[in-house]
Amino acid sequence: MDEKGILIVVSGFSGSGKGTLMKELLARYPDTYALSVSATTRAPREGEADGREYFFVSKDEFEKMIAKGELIEYARYVENYYGTPRDYVEKQLEKGRDVILEIEIQGALSIKKMFPDTLLLFVTPPCAEELRNRLVGRGTETMDVIQSRMDRACEEAEGMEDYDYLIVNDSLNRCVEEMHAIIRGEHRKSSRNREFIQKIKQDLERLKH
Amino acid sequence: MDEKGILIVVSGFSGSGKGTLMKELLARYPDTYALSVSATTRAPREGEADGREYFFVSKDEFEKMIAKGELIEYARYVENYYGTPRDYVEKQLEKGRDVILEIEIQGALSIKKMFPDTLLLFVTPPCAEELRNRLVGRGTETMDVIQSRMDRACEEAEGMEDYDYLIVNDSLNRCVEEMHAIIRGEHRKSSRNREFIQKIKQDLERLKH
């Protein structure tokens, strides 16, 4: 069966809990999944390590990576670049690990266009009110920030139907297992197992005689 | 989220163990799944009960069902009709149960054409040799029968790639849970949750103000 890894893009509303969800998925199944580490030109924040949170590179280095085609997607926010190094992703997929990228919709759709086998997952709370309640509940955000997050959520919701699956984050434990089950299921898609199908057909023909 | 049932068609090689697999799935999750009972004009065999193995009807009755559009698919083998009554299937789907039909490829594809949301599952042993070994291992079949089953398997394999998922039946327990997980995952497809997406978009717009 399909032993090659699947490239998985996870997006979702700010406040949907996708960070926690992915951390937990990786912790439970460390041999199954690999988290892609992005390259960025922004300065490391306290506690961030090069190669763990990000690969921290200069603007020059980043632009060389773009020119050499070493990024499978990149974007520029304000004055900083963010991108996904191709090399790490491809090596992990070859090893049979599913590689998870956490990026926003524009990046997600451009990756899907380039690599149609990419699996797009969208993490959402069970309802819009819940999203607002979580942001308010954090207690660390001003109402202005919450308002701008809700505005942003409206924009983020625009592309929801372009994702393959919705991951409804109501309870962490259930949700991690559901995400895992969805990805395991994807490995059983006929479209991902053309070689297996070809082999069984040939062997059946052979055994007829 | 998606509360309506999914219509699931299960096909597979003779000797792939799909009968046992489905029986076990139904036994473990009786509230989740309903097995569609076919109508047939063939005579009941010993131990078969009307409405359990089949709905046993006369040729006249069956042809009336066809004329009235009461079957979602039917086929004629030798001198007998076999078909799937629409009424039972639709009622179970409305109740939110996933309805499983066990039919062959021609029927499967014609159902998928009429109802594009149908999920097509193909049960296969891990390899062709295994299929042959199982048929031989039963000890109840003559070599002629085994040979004709293998010929038939070659024909059955023709349509494998038209199914959505392959269910590799290596161990019953693992396989039942995998089938269940694949179907649960399908309920999370964006394409099956258009209403949920519409609602969350509208609510987010409302909460902005």
Mean per-residue pLDDT, A106-116 = 90
- A156, closest residue in chain B (CA to CA): B201
Beta strand pairing call for A98-102 and A33-35: parallel
Given strand B71-77, what is the order of strands in its sheet? Answer: B54-56, B38-40, B80-85, B71-77
* β-pair partners for B57: none
SS3 A184: helix
pLDDT tens digits, B96-143: 999 999 988 888 998 999 899 999 999 999 999 988 888 888 777 788
Q: How confident is the model at residue A2 (pLDDT cuts 50, 70, 90)?
A: low
In chain A, residues 106-145 whose CB comes closer than 8 Å to chain B:
122, 124, 126-129, 131-132
**Tokens coding A89:** 């992703």
- Give the whole-number percent of chain A exceeding pLDDT 70: 99
Say if pTM beats, i.e. exceeds, 0.95. Answer: no
- In the chain, the amino acid numbered A120 is L
Distance CA A9, CA A112 (A): 9
Distance CA A115, CA A194 (A): 17
What pLDDT shows up at residue B25? 97
From the CA of A6, how many Å to the nearest CA of chain B?
16
SS3 A12: strand
